Amino acid sequence: MHIDRRTFLAGGSALLIGQVPLPARAQDKLIKFGAPQDFTKVYTFVTAEYSQGQRDYITLFNERGGIKGFKVHLDVIDHGNDLPRAIEAFERYKREGYVLVDPLSTPMARGLVTRALEDKINMVTTLSGRSDAADGTAFPYVMPLSPNYWSQAALIIDFFQKQDKDLKGKKIVLVHIDTPFGREPIPIYQALAQKLGYEFQAFPYTPPGNDQSAIWPQVRRARPDWVIFWGAGVGQTVALNEAIRNGLPLDRMSSSVWLSESDMEVVGKDATKGVLKFEAAAGGREPKVIQDILKEVVAKGKGAGPEGKVGTSYYNIGVMMGAIQIEGLRKAFEKAPDGPYTGPWLNEGLRSITNFTADGLLPPITTTKQDHQGGGRGRIARWDGSKFVAQSDWGSAYEDVVWAEIRKYSEEFKKSGK
């Protein structure tokens, strides 16, 4: 067959210019949520467990018939904590009419803030992202929907105070990863130090935190009354190991929400007895919704991952976020049953959740147009060698101090975009 140059060129350029269609995933009667998350780089098993819980809850919801004939499609893809990949996913979601994006990564959430606000797609920043995004007036489309780091910090200090009756003259130290995420709670600890009269000291370690041997002897020398360790992923287990090596009392140490059974298995289940952490959702398999998932999803072989992980801390956080997102969807349908099923439509729902507890899995959460955090309630739990046991009732603490900080920074964002 003879192909002359002109034919070849014409064919070639047609091939170049003609766009390659993406496979049509769109089907009728689907509300689309996107979950580009980091399965491979930093958060790895955290994401795997979280995603499993989130997908199982959404399967449960779909299996029960969805809502008004609509089902939820959750697209899960790995962004490897790499911004171009997260942006690619975000742009694709925008094109395909997704109404919610859940990146589960503080750096990605920060990098996508402008796009979420401009393109009006709800970005969920589960227990991460900017703390000041709790102010819905400044960040209408950024939805933490969970206690931010400042609320967590305040609740931890509140627990310390209840244990010691008075924190005056006590020394509280924060051992944190030296990134914006690690430094984030410092303003709250400082503000509360002035209020309660304790002495506060911060010890940063260099990211990613797999070597902290230089910092912990200094922590020991500071003779702290309470230690808070603030990291994610590998840094947490290293911190625990170093604390044990330096003989710090573990029952006077607390983490933020990012500590799980898997971390404890790495360090040693018995060696870590007594460690405290913030809890945003009940752990274990007792909560009714977890039982429902076991019966209606996992037992039917529709579970998204290994059955053994059902009921772990991060799994339950995934269920919690899935449940809150679905509750927002219900509210959106209540407000405007006929759509249009867009980002702003879902936004109305996500911002009007009232006293939702997911059948006792989480403390009552109430979101408003002002408060995207939902009340900032949580509790402190202690590791007893096999599970985390709640040490306090659900509640929030010093929300006035927290909100003063939130407003301070969100005003700054409104004014200057910082």
Partner 1 sequence: MLYRQAGIRHRRYAAERQLWPLTFDRMLVGAVALFLLAAPFTLDRLYVSGYLLPWLLWSSAALGLNLLMGGAGQIHLGYGAVMAIGAYSSVHLVRNGVPFELALILSGSMSAALGIIFGAAALRVKGLYLAMSTLAMQYIVDFTISHAPGISGGTQASLQVPRVSVLGIPVTGEVAPYYVALALCAIVTLFMLNVGRTSFGRALAAIREKDYAAEIIGVSTFKYKLLAFWTSSFIGGAVGAVLAVCYLRIVTPDQFHLDLSIQLVAMVIVGGLGSVLGSFFGAALILFAPIFFNHAIGMLAAGLGLSISTDLRSHIPLMLYGGLIILFLLVEPLGLAKMYDNVRKYFLVWPFRHVRK
Binding region for partner 1 (CB under 8 A): 5, 8-9, 12-13, 16-17, 19, 22-23, 39-40, 48, 51-52, 76-78, 80, 82-85, 87-88, 91-92, 94-95, 107, 110-111, 113-115, 130-132, 178-180, 183-184, 186-187, 304-306, 409, 412-413, 416-418
Supply the minimum distance, in Å, between the C-beta of residue 5 and partner 1: 7
- Residue nearer to partner 1 on the CB measure, 82 or 164: 82
Supply the minimum distance, in Å, between the C-beta of residue 13 and partner 1: 5
Side chain identity at 245, as an amino acid letter? Answer: R
Judge contact between 254 and 228, C-beta under 8 A: yes
Supply the minimum distance, in Å, between the C-beta of residue 126 and partner 1: 17
Judge contact between 211 and 234, C-beta under 8 A: no
Look up tokens 């059902």; give the residue: 310
- Residue nearer to partner 1 on the CB measure, 190 or 354: 190
Q: Provide the 10 A C-beta neighbour count for residue 30.
A: 16
Judge contact between 195 and 141, C-beta under 8 A: no
- Residue nearer to partner 1 on the CB measure, 77 or 404: 77
CA angle, corner 98, sides to 97 and 102, nearest 5?
Answer: 160
- Residue nearer to partner 1 on the CB measure, 85 or 252: 85
- Residue nearer to partner 1 on the CB measure, 333 or 409: 409
Supply the minimum distance, in Å, between the C-beta of residue 325 and partner 1: 18
- Residue nearer to partner 1 on the CB measure, 171 or 183: 183
Supply the minimum distance, in Å, between the C-beta of residue 337 and partner 1: 30
DSSP 8-state symbol, 417: -
Judge contact between 355 and 284, C-beta under 8 A: no
Three-state secondary structure string covering 80-123: CCCHHHHHHHHHHHHHCCCCEECCCCHHHHHHHHHHHHHHCCEE
Supply the minimum distance, in Å, between the C-beta of residue 385 and partner 1: 28
Helix 106-119 vs helix 83-95: crossing angle, to nearest 10: 30
Judge contact between 398 and 329, C-beta under 8 A: no
What SS3 class is residue 73?
Answer: strand
Supply the minimum distance, in Å, between the C-beta of residue 400 and partner 1: 19
Q: What are phi and psi of 80, to 5 degrees?
A: 55, 25
Q: Work out the burial of residue 92: count CB atoms within 10 Å of its CB; fewer than 13 is exposed, 13-18 middle, 19 or more buried.
A: middle
Supply the minimum distance, in Å, between the C-beta of residue 413 and partner 1: 8
- Residue nearer to partner 1 on the CB measure, 365 or 406: 406
- Residue nearer to partner 1 on the CB measure, 52 or 347: 52
Q: Provide the 10 A C-beta neighbour count for residue 15.
A: 9
